[in-house]
Amino acid sequence: MARKKILAVLAGAAVLLTGASVADATPPAHWVGTWASVPTQTPATATPTLADETIRQVVHTSVAGSEVRLRLTNEFGTTALRVGAVHVARRAGSTGTAIDPRTDRTVTFGGVGSPTIPSGAPLLSDPVRLPVPARADLVVSIYLPGPTPVTSLHNFAYQENVVARGDVTDDRAVAGRTVTAWYFLSSVSVRTTDRHATAVVAFGDSITNGAESAVNANHRWPDLLANRLRGRGMLNLGVAGNRLLHDPNPPPGSDAVNYAAFFGESAMRRFDRDVLAQPGAEHVIVLLGVNDLGHPGTSAPVTEAVTAEEIINAHRQLIVRAHAAGLEIIGGTILPFKNDTFGFYSPENEAKRQAVNHWIRTGGEYDGFVDFDAALRDPADPRQLRATYDSGDHLHPNDAGMAAMAAAIPLNLLR
C-alpha cells in the first residue's frame, strides 16, 4: 500500500512540474506533406500568360489530416506575382474539376486573401480547417487578375486541369481550356495527430514523375507505392529530363530550346528545396542518372558528358546531405534503355549504367537499395526493358511497369 501511495505522489508531482494532464497524453499535431511537385522555369518560347483567369487544378493526397496548408511558388518569376484569390476544396466525384461546395474554403496568407509573392520566392498559406482523407482529390483554384506570365510551373502533370475566365475560385464547376500542368503550386501539407505519420520523398526524373503513364489515373509509381504505405505521406519530386549534375543547357538553335527549361534545376541544386524542406520527410528514394548519360549530345552539349564515377560522387553528395538532416536515403538502380527513341543508348553509356548500378547494389553507402533494373529488364536481353513494361519508347515504363516498380520496393526499407 505504501508503495502505491509513493507512486501516486510521484505521478502527481510530475503533473505539477510539467503542467500536463491525462488529456495531454494525446500526441501533439504536426505537419506532413501529402502532395508535392517540382516547380521549374518555362522556356522563353513557350511561356503562357493568364489574365483575369482562374487556374483550377487537381492534386491527389497520400496521407490524411484535419487541416491543410498550401505552398504557392513564384520561384522562377522575375517580377512579383499578384494573386487575386485562392480556394481549396474536395473534388466532387472522381473525374473533372468540380468541387463539393460544402468543403470550399478561402485560403489566406498571413491573413491576406489576395497576396503578392515576391520574385524568386515561395509563399506558405495559413492553416485551413478542412478534413482531408488519404488518397483523395483536392481542387486548388488560383485567380490571377492581371496579365501574369506563367513562369513557375510543373509542366508534365499527367493530370487535366482547367483555365477558366474570371474569378471562379468558389464556383462548383467551371468550363475552360484544359492544361496538363500545375501552375504556381508546389505542395500541400496536412496537420495530423498521428505521431507515426511521416513522408517518403521520391526524388527522380521523368520515370518518377510518371512519364507515359495514363493521364488522370494516378498510376505514377509513387502513387502506387502510396497505396501500399498506408498512413504515410508520399511526395513525388520527380521532374522530366532532370539530371544530377547539370541544369538545362540546350544547344543554341536546337529543338531543345523550346522545352529544356521544363527539366528543372539539377538534383544537386534542388535537393534542399525538394527534399529537406518537405514537412515530415523521413525517407528518400533516389532514381537519377539516366539523363546524365543520355542528354549530352541530344538536348545538352557533348561537353557535359559525365563518367560513372562523377554520377556516383553526385549520389554520394545526396547521401551525405540526407544523413546530415537525419533522413534515411535509398538508391534505385537505373533502368535499361537499349534501343530508346531519344538516342540515349550507346555501349559506352550502358557500361556507365552498369557501373553505377553495381555501386548502388554493393557499395553499402545508401541505407538500402531498390533494384528497379532487375524488376523491369528483359530476361532475354537485360540491356532493354521487358516488352510488357515498355511504353513504346524503350526508356519509360508503361502503367504495368509503374506497378512493377512500386511492387519492387521492400516496405521494410521505409519503416
CATH number (domain holding residue 263): 3.40.50.1110
Predicted pLDDT of residue 248: 98
Q: What is the distance between the alpha carbons of residues 258 and 291, in angstroms, rounded to a whole number? A: 18
**Could you say which residues of the chain have pLDDT below 50?**
1-24
Q: Are residues 212 and 324 in the same domain?
A: yes
Find out whether 72 and 83 touch, Cβ atoms under 8 Å: yes
Q: Are residues 183 and 222 in the same domain?
A: no
Q: Are residues 269 and 378 in the same domain?
A: yes
Predicted pLDDT of residue 106: 98
Find out whether 185 and 37 touch, Cβ atoms under 8 Å: yes
Quick one: which of 280, 219, 197, 233 has its CA closest to 61?
Answer: 233
Q: Are residues 235 and 169 in the same domain?
A: no
Predicted pLDDT of residue 25: 52
Q: Are residues 169 and 237 in the same domain?
A: no
13 found inside a domain: no
Find out whether 330 and 201 touch, Cβ atoms under 8 Å: no
* Dihedral in degrees, nearest 10, Cα atoms 26, 27, 30, 33: -110
Which bin fits 152, alpha (ψ -120 to 50), beta or left (φ > 0)? beta
The domain total for the chain is 2
Which bin fits 399, alpha (ψ -120 to 50), beta or left (φ > 0)? alpha
Q: What is the distance between the alpha carbons of residues 68 and 81, in angstroms, rounded to a whole number? A: 22
Among 140, 172, 191, identify where a domain stops: 191
Q: Are residues 336 and 241 in the same domain?
A: yes
Among 140, 162, 191, identify where a domain stops: 191
Predicted pLDDT of residue 189: 98
10 found inside a domain: no
Q: What is the distance between the alpha carbons of residues 119 and 98, in angstroms, rounded to a whole number? A: 31
Residue 137, domain extent: 29-191
Q: What is the distance between the alpha carbons of residues 290 and 236, in angstroms, rounded to a whole number? A: 18
7 found inside a domain: no
24 found inside a domain: no
Alpha helices in 279-387 (DSSP H): 290-294, 308-324, 347-362, 372-376
349 found inside a domain: yes
Q: Are residues 114 and 256 in the same domain?
A: no
Predicted pLDDT of residue 392: 98
Q: Are residues 225 and 132 in the same domain?
A: no
Q: Are residues 273 and 407 in the same domain?
A: yes
